[in-house]
Amino acid sequence: MRHARRRIVRRVTRLAAVGGLLLGAGMVTQAVASEPSGSPGVPNASVRSAAGTGADLVERLGTARTAGTWIGSDGRPVVAVTDEDAVAEVRRAGATAKVVRHSMRELKSAAATLRSAPRVAGTAWVMDYRSNEVVVRGDSTVSAADWSELTEVADGIGGFVRMERTEGTFTTRLNGAQAMLSTAGRCSAGFNVTDGETDFILTAGHCGPDGSVWFADNQGNEQVGKTVTGSFPGNDYSLVQYANGRAGQGADVVAIGDGQGVRITGTGEASVGQRVFRSGSTSGLRDGEVTGLNATVNYPEGTVTGLIETNVCAEPGDSGGPLFSEGIALGVTSGGSGDCNAGGTTFFQPVGQALSALGVRLITSTPEQGASPAPSASGTQSAIAPPDAAEPGASAPVSGEDVSALLSRLTDPKNVGPGLLIIAGSLIALVATRWIRTEQDRKAYQRYYSATWG
């Protein structure tokens, strides 16, 4: 009777182990099948692909037949065109065509006419590709007389120039992400760059003139570096050379604390309609959408052109911080209006233009490498999105191995960890039952041998 019970227990154990193997294999298969296409280690390239298709079509068709491109709500590129032949070519390329009245050549001509008019501080304009208009905005500092004169200029251009008043004031956003302090004020670090021999911080040009010395603390004990070159107004970028010449470990990561960061894997050009992320020490991580390109802003300090316009909010203290999406560096914070309670408009200096003018390149990680050495926190790092914000880029720990995150991934039902654990447990059970059976057979043989030859 006892031997029968043992056989039943062994059979049940073996059946449970086999069932565990099948269950674990099913869980692993389901987890792999449901894994998102954009792995955490490699930025999703769909938006960049759409933007590239639209830009290629605009370049091929020319400014007389197109009026800009943007990313539609379905993620496909949309190209504004002026004739039916262009419509056919856009559709053949897999993009959406929108027929408009005014070409890019006309929009640029309108913007040039506005630039040639007497400068009015507190105004800005941008080509709105989606509405096929040039939008002129005036903040609360613009007088009624100045606004009336600028409106006359707009009326002389044509009906595709739209005039709008906006709340707040267009100001440079001095201060920033991880603070850098000097006698020129408090500003923000953007991205780490290098010329191959020395490392620098790329930040906003309005932060301070050449020779400004920057510190990481209020007491002036921790020197970060010195501004060696820049451009403002006209553009809005500058280089701060590290005091020791090196950015250090983690130079390819932007972070906002709590041991989290986003790896920067390259540079790119912003596209209208693209979702983007910005970080700063005042308002933290914020996201929004690119609403215009080649914007002109008449700050009190001077005029800056060629900026990226977004509806991402920013506040004083966010200047110089990085703008990025999918791990791709896009710009550094220049200025804007409004705040993060009421919303507003924020402008960014494009990174590519700044890098080309300064003769430096971004310090980046390689997407294909997956896990690279864990970066350390520094005063030059800025942002990661909260869990419910999508795709700022590939996440990475800021210092050391993030054990809790690893355990979380292993126990997440959406991942392969639980399935692998069940498979491992089932294999152990099978091996154990086989070993127990072997030991019982060996002891039974010993008893039989002893009884026979005793």
- Same domain for 323 and 180: yes
- Total-model pTM: 0.72
- Same domain for 268 and 375: yes
Q: Residue 39 falls within a domain, yes or no?
A: no
Q: Residue 402 falls within a domain, yes or no?
A: no
CA distance 216 to 231: 23
- Same domain for 370 and 328: yes
Catalytic status, residue 283:
no
Q: Residue 441 falls within a domain, yes or no?
A: yes
Question: Going residue by residue through the chain (454 aa), what tens digit of pLDDT does each one get?
Answer: 555 555 666 666 666 666 766 766 666 566 544 443 433 333 345 566 777 889 999 999 999 999 999 999 888 999 999 999 999 999 999 999 999 999 999 999 999 999 999 999 999 999 999 999 999 999 999 999 999 999 999 999 999 999 999 988 898 754 334 567 777 677 778 899 999 999 999 999 998 889 999 888 777 788 989 999 999 999 999 999 999 999 888 888 875 556 667 789 999 999 999 999 988 777 778 899 999 999 999 999 999 999 999 999 988 777 888 999 988 999 999 999 988 888 889 999 999 999 999 999 999 876 544 433 333 333 333 333 333 333 566 665 544 344 444 445 445 555 556 666 777 776 777 677 777 667 666 666 556 555 555 4
- Same domain for 249 and 122: no
Question: Is residue 392 reached through a cis peptide bond, with omega within 30 degrees of 0 on the bond before it?
Answer: no
- Same domain for 146 and 88: no
- Same domain for 345 and 266: yes
Half-sphere exposure for 327 (CA within 13 Å, toward CB): 27
Q: At what angle do helices 417-453 and 403-411 cross, to 10 degrees?
A: 80
- Same domain for 180 and 66: no
Q: Residue 144 falls within a domain, yes or no?
A: yes
Q: Which of 238, 279, 319, 337 is catalytic?
A: 319
- Same domain for 383 and 238: yes
- Same domain for 140 and 175: no
Count: domains in the chain: 4
Q: How many other β-carbons are positioned within 10 Å of the β-carbon of residue 209?
A: 12
Q: Residue 312 falls within a domain, yes or no?
A: yes
Q: Which of 102, 128, 139, 206 is catalytic?
A: 206
Q: Residue 145 falls within a domain, yes or no?
A: yes
- Same domain for 297 and 186: yes
Determine contact, residues 214/248, Cβ cutoff 8 Å: no
Catalytic status, residue 319:
yes
- Last residue within a domain, chosen from 397, 424, 443: 397
- Same domain for 338 and 323: yes
Q: How many other β-carbons are positioned within 10 Å of the β-carbon of residue 317?
A: 19
Q: Encoding tokens for residue 367?
A: 């997407």
Residue 442 is part of which domain span? 2-34+416-453
Strand runs labelled E in 312-364:
322-325, 328-339, 343-350, 361-362
Q: Which of 128, 199, 236, 318 is catalytic?
A: 236
CA distance 347 to 418: 46
- Same domain for 186 and 158: no
- Last residue within a domain, chosen from 165, 185, 216: 165
Q: Residue 409 falls within a domain, yes or no?
A: no
Catalytic status, residue 210:
no
CA distance 341 to 47: 29
CATH of the domain at 131: 3.30.300.50
Q: Residue 41 falls within a domain, yes or no?
A: no
Q: Which SS3 state, helix, strand or coil, does residue 66 take?
A: strand
Q: Which long-range contacts (CB under 8 A, 24 or more apart) does 288-293 make?
A: 288/312, 288/313, 288/346, 291/126, 291/128, 291/345, 292/126, 292/127, 292/128, 292/129, 292/135, 293/68, 293/126, 293/127, 293/129
